[in-house]
Amino acid sequence: MSDDAPAEGKWTGTAVNFLIGTVLATIVTSGFTYKSWSEQTRLDFAKEQLADARSIFDKASQLLSERIFSSYDVLLHINSDNDAAHAKRLDRQEKAIADWNLNYSDLLQHAQFALEISDDGKLLPYHEVASAHFAKLDCALKFDDRNGPAPGWQKSPSWLLAAIQHCFLEEGVQNGIAALRKQKSTPEREGKRDSLEKRLDNLSAHADNFRVASKSAIQRLRQSVETRSYLNFLTSW
């Protein structure tokens, strides 16, 4: 037997071990590279989604603020004798309502895609806000359980937007203000004015509900965008 046999076996074993080590190192490196890419992709998508959510929130909040303020402004000065100033206030109110109505459909669609966020910061499956669900809706935002959305809808920016649109069409307020302006001050007239102001108070409260729900969704998105620690990154494999 050759004296070189043990050496050959030793080198063969070393080569096999080296090959196995190389393969394992390649697998680990590839896995780490893929995981890093996946994490970066997740972060990029979350950041894009966060930007969209902020944009739609800002747009809706601005339109609601203008709509509410202009309506209060008209109602507050209902007894003014300055017809020119009153006409300007009416024009501003009409424009605010028109802007809201023109943008509502887009606001709702964007909210459904950008602001429906689960508790763990993930985008919820798209759901259609069907007008049929509003058959049993009153302006206290109560749905008939047999005809409404899933439980927890009060935290849904999409449903809150749709409820605002359904409950607070402003023709009644505008016509009511126009009618009251021509009347003399009587207890009945003041009661109607108070009723109109209460309706605007409800609209303002519902707008606040939308802002709270949207801010909560955005906060959950922000948390998902935060870079995880290296330990969290490793344990997420």
Long-range CB pairs of 202-208, under 8 A, 24+ apart, other chains included: 202/139, 202/167, 202/168, 203/67, 203/68, 203/71, 203/164, 203/167, 203/168, 204/68, 206/139, 206/141, 206/160, 206/163, 206/164, 206/167, 206/168, 207/61, 207/64, 207/65, 207/68, 207/164
Q: What is the pLDDT of residues 133-155, one digit of tens each?
A: 665 555 655 544 444 555 556 67
Mean pLDDT across the chain: 77
Mean pLDDT of 109-133: 78
* Per-residue pLDDT at 95 exceeds 90: yes
CA 107 to chain centre: 10
Q: What is the pLDDT of residues 177-232, one digit of tens each?
A: 777 777 777 888 888 888 888 888 888 988 998 999 999 999 988 887 775 555 45
Buried b / exposed e over 82-120, threshold 16 CB at 10 Å, is: eeeebeebbebbeebbeebeeebeebbebbbebbbbeee
Nearest to 194 by CA among 170, 167, 173: 173
